[in-house]
Amino acid sequence: MSNLSLLYLSIFVLIPLFLSYYYQLGVNKDILWSSLRGTVQLFLIGFALNYLFNLPPLIGIPFLITVMIVVASFHARKKGTGLPNVLPTILIGLVLIEGGVLALWLLFDLIQFIPSQVIPMSGMVIGNSMIAMGLALERMKSEFKENEGRILAALSLGAAPDAASHVIVKKTLGAALIPNVDKLKTIGLVQLPGMMTGLILGGVSPVIAIKYQLVISLSIFSAVSLSAIYITLIMYRYYYNDTMQLDLDKARKS
């Protein structure tokens, strides 16, 4: 693929840009900025990976995983603005989930502890976990705003916060998990996943590519499930004050 061919990719940016302009969606700058930023970031990480892959695994792998977790934590916390301790909660969750997944990979000899395998696969786990936490925080915020009356009624009848929030927690978890369940249902039929496609394009046997794809797909599914459950069960409690009353101002500001 030549550099000139890459320039033709701008067509794929112009299409959503035109739609945004035509329908006055107000996201023109966001489309341009995100496209430019994503391109620059990919090239920078490409050069960085060339260097990191040559470092000893015990140096390169922890360094880049730490960077990915920190960046993901700061990005996901935006969905929980106004809630206390949201950043350290996300940070701890990502560390535990990524650490657990990586430990299982190595324990069952699914991958080798080398940067070329650990870093790309860990990045997919961390990235999807970040998205799951962000979606859960956003959905939970919306549910609390829409169900204030129902929650207040339940509390006034003597329900504890966990009972009053049961439906909200259930809906939040469902919203975070359903997209990944649907993705697994159609994997290999409607879409060929990115990792499998990349390995095949690189000349790897399709059977070997499928094995790696199964590892990452099921790992992501588990990580996303744990991320959504973790952040929901911890953060919903912050919508209540010390006297177990709904904090309406916090629900509106978050």
Q: What is the pLDDT of residue 196?
A: 81
Q: Position 55: which residue type?
A: L
Please state, in angstroms and rounded to a whole number, the distance separating the CA atoms of residues 254 and 246: 13
Instruction: Give the residue extent of every domain in the chain.
Output: 1-52, 57-253
Q: What is the pLDDT of residue 74?
A: 95
28 class by beta-carbon count within 10 Å (0-12 exposed, 13-18 middle, 19+ buried): middle
pLDDT tens for each residue of the chain, 254 residues long: 667 777 777 888 889 989 988 888 888 899 999 999 988 988 888 888 888 888 899 998 999 999 999 999 999 999 988 888 999 999 999 999 999 999 999 999 999 999 989 999 999 999 999 999 999 999 998 888 888 888 888 888 888 888 988 888 988 888 888 888 888 877 776 666 777 878 887 888 888 888 998 999 999 999 999 999 999 999 998 888 887 888 756 555 55
Phi, psi of 187 (to 5 degrees): -65, 130
Q: What is the pTM of this model?
A: 0.84
- Give a three-class secondary structure readout of the chain: CCHHHHHCCHHHHHHHHHHHHHCCCCCHHHHHHHHHHHHHHHHHHHHHHHHHCCCCHHHHHHHHHHHHHHHHHHHHHHHHCCCCCHHHHHHHHHHHHHHHHHHHHHHCCCCCCCHHHHHHHHHHHHHHHHHHHHHHHHHHHHHHHHCHHHHHHHHHCCCCHHHHCHHHHHHHHHHHHHHHHHHHHHECCCECCHHHHHHHHCCCCHHHHHHHHHHHHHHHHHHHHHHHHHHHHHHHHHHECCCCCECHHHHHHC
Q: What is the largest CA-CA distance in the chain?
A: 68
Contacts of 198 (CB under 8 A, 6+ apart): none
Q: What is the pLDDT of residue 105?
A: 96
Is-contact 137 130, C-beta < 8 A? no
Q: How far is CA 176 from CA 25, 128, 130, 132, in A?
A: 26, 11, 11, 6
Please state, in angstroms and rounded to a whole number, the distance separating the CA atoms of residues 172 and 138: 9
Is-contact 200 251, C-beta < 8 A? no
The distance from CA 53 to its chain's CA centroid, rounded to whole angstroms, is 24
Q: What is the pLDDT of residue 130?
A: 95
Is-contact 93 230, C-beta < 8 A? yes
Please state, in angstroms and rounded to a whole number, the distance separating the CA atoms of residues 178 and 228: 11
Q: What is the pLDDT of residue 241?
A: 83
